[in-house]
Copies of this chain bind each other. A is one copy, B any other.
Amino acid sequence: MSTTTTIERPIISAEELLTAWQGHRNLTRKVIEAFPEKDMFTFSVGGMRPFADLIKEIITVSAVGLKQIVTGVITPFEDAMPQIKEKADLLQAWDEASEQINVYFPQISAEKFHEDINLFGEYKFPAIENIQYFIDNEIHHRAQAYVYLRALGIEPPFFWDRY
């Protein structure tokens, strides 16, 4: 069964995943900076949510979700959504969430990464799958903001600019 052994070997470490995640967060922060404040809370394409609402979701999903994984204290998603109405406050909440991620992520034990957690009382998956979902969800909504920016005539940051 050498093929199976080959496939099943570990290839991404916790540290590498955190680095990749924070790289994505750096890029998302550049997208927030590039977005005009007047459009951030109102502009939409096809009836979708404004960019600020997407960012508030990402802040909640990531930082609050990670805290739930570490502490095991589960609260509903809606209760955790920040009330933010200005661009500067959105950037500050973003930076605070990035710091919290750096604090909480290293506290997750090897066992806990592969244990189920019922995140926000709704999403029961192994912690590692929930975390991968956080990152995928951020890439997904940020990409939608790329289209919003293009529709507004603004060039978004390069996709590879994670620094």
Interface residues of A (CB under 8 A from B): 3, 6-15, 17-18, 20, 24, 45-48, 105-106, 109-110, 113, 128, 132-133, 136-137, 139-144, 146-153, 159-160
Contact = CB atoms under 8 A, between A and B. Distances in A.
Contacts of A105: 7
Contacts of A3: 106
Contacts of A10: 10-14
Given A13-B8, A17-B11, A113-B11, A140 B159 contact: yes
29 contacts: A3-B106, A7-B14, A8-B15, A10-B13, A10-B14, A11-B12, A11-B13, A11-B14, A11-B17, A11-B113, A11-B128, A12-B12, A12-B128, A12-B132, A45-B150, A45-B151, A46-B149, A46-B151, A46-B152, A46-B153, A48-B147, A48-B150, A133-B160, A136-B139, A140-B140, A140-B159, A141-B143, A144-B146, A144-B147
Contacts of A152: 46
Contact of A143 (B9, B47, B139, B149): B139
Q: Main secondary structure on chain A at its contact with chain B?
A: helix
Given A11-B12, A12-B12, 20 more contacts: A6-B109, A7-B14, A7-B18, A7-B105, A9-B13, A9-B110, A10-B14, A11-B17, A11-B113, A12-B128, A12-B132, A20-B132, A45-B150, A46-B150, A133-B160, A136-B139, A140-B140, A140-B143, A142-B143, A144-B146
